[in-house]
Structures are given as C-alpha cells and as structure tokens.
Amino acid sequence: MDIATAQKLAWENKNLKGFNTTDVALEFGLLTAEIGEAFTAWRKNLPDLGEELADILLYTAALAQMNGIDLDHEVAQKVEKNARRTYEPNEHGVPIRTSDG
C-alpha cells in the first residue's frame, strides 16, 4: 500500500468511527502514546511491535490530513533530500552532517 492510500483510508476510518478529526494537539498526544507502546513492545520483545508501528504511521497520516499535507509527497521529497546529504563521523564516531548535497 502506498502512503497516499494509507492516508486516505486512515482518514476515512476516523470519520466512519467518529474518532478525532479536528483536535491536532490531541492527535499529537495520541501519537506520542503510540510511540510509547511501540517502544514497550520492542523493549519487551512482544509480538505486536509491527502493529504498534502501523499505529504510528496511521496517526501520522491523520495528522497530515488534519493539516492539509500530502504525506506521500512529503516523504518522497524527504527521502530525496536525505539521499543528497553527506555525513562524517566526529571524534566519538557519531555521524555529523557535512552538507545538504
């Protein structure tokens, strides 16, 4: 499934089920909770890590829709931007961006 389709279906589901579609701050809070659930699933090696990561994507898609953002387009642009960037490790071995390409 592509990102645009996921965004559309996530939004349709929120509307159909009567979930939040207007309170952006609430949606960010719920997204934060989902990130915590994914971390717990990873940390405890639970079988639902994939489902929790999917929840993160769906909440992010809803936030994009609430703010009139074409997430498919934004992700494609960001992937291209990241590909052009260069990094060099610092004295601690941490990659530090050296250019935006």
pLDDT by residue (tens digit) across 60-78?
A: 999 999 999 999 999 999 9
In the chain, the amino acid numbered 12 is E
Q: What percent of the chain has pLDDT over 70?
A: 100
Q: What is the pLDDT of residues 74-93, one digit of tens each?
A: 999 999 999 999 999 999 99
Task: List, as one string, the DSSP characters of 28-64.
Answer: HHHHHHHHHHHHHHHHTT-TTHHHHHHHHHHHHHHHH
Which domains does the chain show, CATH number per domain? Answer: 3-99 (1.10.287.1080)
Could you give the 3-state DSSP secondary structure of residue 4?
helix
Q: What's the whole-model pTM score? A: 0.88
Q: In the numeric block, which tokens belong to residue 36?
A: 């915590």
CA dihedral 19, 36, 47, 7 (to 10 degrees): 40
